């Protein structure tokens, strides 16, 4: 009678650092966010109990690098997702990737991001982003999340202090240099670029940046 083959240590390779981190975190904390992760964690623990702490190891490999096993695993994962979409589960890393893609899509919308605020001073950039997204130190947003007693504008006191109100409507905006009435008009960079001169010569000024530099949302 032949002896049964002895079990050896296992090396699990993945092209997802987020997946590896999720399995390791579940193993350290004893808590799994999904049923599938719990099954994997329990299988690893059972093997380590029988063969020792080094019975299972993890390694990262670069995706789409013509590594046969990784390419086959990727194909099977996509196939399973297409066959059973209702059973698909999102990991913590997957949520971060989905959020990153959503933000990238938002930045591709006309006038939002597109590199405009990269060269601005920090105060102008922060005020612009808060007004454009409608979140941050805006009275209407703070009221919505329970951090302000009312949503009224702290400058004019007539309307809710939304980003749109500050950037396009508030009478205080006229005092600090607003000359546009729509987001689309504001997005016209050429229209709001002004040439000025100092002791070093001529330079261009972005009037929209100057406006948001004066917006006080503290």
Q: What is the mean pLDDT of residues 66-80?
A: 80
What average pLDDT does the segment 108-137 reach? 77
**Summary mean pLDDT of the chain:** 82
Residue with tokens 């205080």, as numbered in its chain: 172
Tell me if 56 sits within 8 A of 10, measured CB to CB. Answer: yes
d(CA 186, CA 124): 14
Q: Determine the pLDDT at residue 1.
A: 47
pLDDT at 66: 77
- State mean pLDDT over 64-76: 81
Which of 59, 22, 55, 64 shows the shortest CA–CA distance to 41?
Answer: 22
In the predicted structure, residue 110 carries a pLDDT above the cut 50: no
Local structure of 163: helix, strand or coil? helix
Q: Half-sphere exposure of residue 24, counting CA atoms within 13 Å on the CB side? A: 13
> Exposed, middle or buried: residue 78 (CB in 10 Å: 0-12, 13-18, 19+)?
exposed
Q: 140-189: per-residue pLDDT in tens?
A: 999 999 999 999 999 999 899 999 999 999 999 999 999 999 998 998 88
Residue 138: pLDDT band with limits 50, 70, 90: very high
pLDDT for 88 equals 56
The Cα 55–Cα 53 span in angstroms is 6
Cα–Cα distance measured from residue 88 to residue 54, given in angstroms and rounded to the nearest whole number: 31
Output the CA angle 35-39-42, nearest 5 degrees. 130
Query: For residues 150 and 144, what is the distance between their CA atoms, to the nearest angstrom?
Result: 9
Per-residue model confidence (pLDDT) at position 62: 84
pLDDT at 33: 73
Give the Cα separation of 121 and 123 in Å (integer).
6
Mean pLDDT of 98-106: 62
pLDDT in tens, 199-213: 888 888 899 999 999
Looking at residue 4, the DSSP 8-state letter turns out to be: P
């Amino acid at each position: 009678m032949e002896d049964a083959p002895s079990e050896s240590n296992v090396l699990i390779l993945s092209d997802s650092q987020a997946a590896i981190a999720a399995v390791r975190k579940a193993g350290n904390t004893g808590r799994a966010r999904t049923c599938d992760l719990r099954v994997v964690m329990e299988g690893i623990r059972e093997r380590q109990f029988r063969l020792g702490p080094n019975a299972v190891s993890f390694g990262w490999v670069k995706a789409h690098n013509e590594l046969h096993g990784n390419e086959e695993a990727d194909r099977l994962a996509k196939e399973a997702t297409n066959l059973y979409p209702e059973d698909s589960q999102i990991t913590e890393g997957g949520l971060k990737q989905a959020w990153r893609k959503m933000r990238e899509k938002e930045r591709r919308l006309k006038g939002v991001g597109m590199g405009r605020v990269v060269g601005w001073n920090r105060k102008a950039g922060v005020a612009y982003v808060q007004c454009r997204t409608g979140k941050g130190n805006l009275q209407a947003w703070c009221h919505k999340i329970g951090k302000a007693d009312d949503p009224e504008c702290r400058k004019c006191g007539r309307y809710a202090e939304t980003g749109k109100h500050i950037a396009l409507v508030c009478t205080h905006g006229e005092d600090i240099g607003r000359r546009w009435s729509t987001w689309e008009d504001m997005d016209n960079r050429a229209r709001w670029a002004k040439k000025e001169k100092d002791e070093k010569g001529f330079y261009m000024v972005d009037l929209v940046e100057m406006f948001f530099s004066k917006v006080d949302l503290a």
